[in-house]
Structure 1
Amino acid sequence: MLKKFVEKNHYKFAKNASDWKEAVRMSCEVLEQDGTVEENYKEDIIRCIEEYGPYIVIMPDVAMPHSQECAKGVHKTAIAFMKLEEPVSFDPEDEEKDATLFFTLASCNPEEHLENMAGLAELLSNEDIINELKEAKTPKDLLEIQKKYVD
């Protein structure tokens, strides 16, 4: 999966984001660049978080921005990876709702989406991979983590 992020240019490394909304917008940029999603998608995700709370923070340090399946403006099924050097807070009263790793989902094909989710679940179930992703700074680092743990 990490190799796929690099091959498709679906990755971003950044120092920080001013707040969680900017982080969500940043996490969608690489998906917008290749036409996977339209500009409205990031605002749909932000509206969902404002309505339902920080449901996208699935574990400490890890967020999975997404909207509903087959959301308006989604043209391909994909996942993008973003890593921030500094955590962004989704809930100032709960440190466990801080995130530095973002796996942004776009879905318009249920079968591909399930495959992506299974791959992501496998990736995130390995604490060593998560720890190494927190230290990653380049696409080469992603490929090395892939080689070390997955290949």
Structure 2
Amino acid sequence: MIRKSQEARGRSVNLSFQVSDRNDNIRDSLQSEVLLVCTSGVSSSAILYSNLHKQYPLITFSKSLSIDELNKILRIPNTAKLIITTSPLNTKNIDLPVVQVKAMMDSEDHVKVENQLRYYFPQLFINREKTLDNLISIIQRNAQIKNISNLRKDLDNYLYPTKDTVKRDKNKHNLMDLLNRSSIKIIDNLMNGTDLNPIIKELSEELEKKNIVTSGYCDDILSLIDKYGPYMLLSSDTFLAHAAPSKHTRKMEIEIGILKRPIKISVNNIEEKIKCVIVLVPGFHHEHDKALTQLINIITNRRLYDQILSETDTDKMYKLIKNSVQ
């Protein structure tokens, strides 16, 4: 069993890769109170981070971690109190509480997460006004305050930020930086039956032709599916295929395949009908996170997304996507 010491508790966009990047991610995560994990450390845990660190700004969440990185972290003294994961973990080998959720958290997932956070961080769930009163009282005992109203407003914005007050990372790329007209395909999958793998291979081959990836990237994706099952749904009808950036990835891009015939797959013993398969080639420094968030916003706008899926012209699909992110 992995245990911790008592101390440990207390358009296309070019990429550049440094060997230390993943080690830096592990090093930075050693100081995190909550570890966010997915199979490859690329997408679903990044989605969790995007949502949770805004909702709970005083809790230190790790950036996206792969299962392999998690195993390394748990063998080093660290400050983690909780693990939130989108992938099944062998909890018998982990001496930390684990909460498994979907990347696109539903109401049940939110309740599970908040219950755990309330237990391990009770001080953060005190009444909002009472929290501000207590903080101002502490400051007044140690400093002179010229404008209590402004101080209260600044503290409120810091503790409970809105989407408008969260700073945008200039290094993140828009969805349209990773998507062009040729990136959308309508796939006649009559011969593929219910198999997801040939669809992923077909889309990966398109990326190979554009010199975005080598053939090894598709192999990486299929290995993850073989090991963890269909590991990433963006919605009940949309599958995101991806792996961690590696020597097989040269540029960031998204390739979209709209299926003429839905494919049935089983995810956690629930049958899903996949109408769209997306292959994401991620960035080494999570430059793709903003694009992924924009893509999710489109998919969760069911009126818009259903319109995209029902189109028979890829140019019109592209325009609908482009107009939605402008």
**Short-chain TM bin:** 0.7 to 0.9
Corresponding residue number in structure 2 for 1:137: 312
Q: Helix, strand or coil for the counterpart of 2:288? A: helix
Q: Secondary structure of the residue that 1:91 maps to in structure 2?
A: strand
Paired residues of 1:101 and 1:133 also in contact (CA < 8 A): no
Counterpart position of 2:196:
20
Query: Residue in 1 aligned with 2:104?
Result: none
Structure 1: distance between partners of 2:318 and 2:184: 12
Shift of 1:91: 2.0
* Structure 2 counterparts to residues 89-128 of structure 1, below 5 A: 89-91=264-266, 94-96=270-272, 98-128=273-303
Contact 1:77–1:109, Cα closer than 8 Å, also in 2: no
Quick one: higher RCO (CA 8 Å, sep 6+), 1 or 2? 1
Equivalent pairs, count: 148
Q: CA 1:147 to 1:131, structure 2 compared with 1: closer, same or farther past 3 Å? A: same
Alpha-carbon distance, 1:72 to partner: 3.3
Cα offset, 1:4, TM superposition: 5.9
Residues 122, 38 of structure 1: CA spacing in aligned structure 2 closer, same or farther, 3 A cutoff? same
Per-residue CA deviation, residues 43-73 of structure 1 (Å, 9 max, x unaligned), is 21111011101112232110000012x2330
Matched residue, 1:40: 216
Q: Deviations over 1:69-121 (max 9, x none)?
A: x233010111111101111223296322x311122111233242112212212
For residues 12 and 29 of structure 1, what CA distance do their matches in structure 2 show? 12
Per the normalisation by structure 2, the TM-score is 0.41
RMSD: 2.3
Q: 1:119 to 1:26 in 2, by over 3 A?
A: same
Match of 1:72 in 2: 247
Unaligned runs of 5+ in 2: 1-174
Q: Which stretches in structure 1 are left out of the alignment for 5+ residues?
A: none
Q: Does 1:52 align with 2:228?
A: yes
Matched AA of 2:205 = E
Q: TM-score, normalised by structure 1?
A: 0.83
Give 1:22 shift: 0.6
Find 2:207's aligned residue among 7, 21, 31.
Answer: 31
CA distance in 1, matches of 2:178, 2:270: 33
Would the alpha carbon gap of residues 47 and 122 (structure 1) be closer, same or farther in structure 2, given more than 3 Å must change? same
The one-letter amino acid paired with 1:58 is: L
Asked whether the 8 Å contact 2:178–2:253 carries over to 1, the reply is no
| Aligned counterpart, 2:93 | none
The alpha-carbon deviation at position 150 of structure 1 amounts to 4.1
Work out the percentage of aligned pairs sharing the same amino acid.
21
Change in CA separation of 1:148 and 1:11 when aligned onto 2, cut-off 3 Å: closer
Return structure 1 stretches of 4+ with deviation > 6 angstroms: none
Contact 1:6 1:139 in 2 (8 A): no
The answer to whether the Cα contact below 8 Å between 1:57 and 1:63 also exists between their aligned partners in 2 is yes
Greater gyration radius: 2
* Equivalent residue, structure 2, for 1:5: 179
* Stretch deviating more after TM superposition (48-57 or 114-123): 114-123
For the residue of structure 2 that corresponds to 1:31, the secondary structure is helix
Corresponding residue number in structure 1 for 2:259: 84
Tell me, in whole angstroms, the C-alpha distance in 2 between the residues paired with 1:3 and 1:72.
Answer: 21
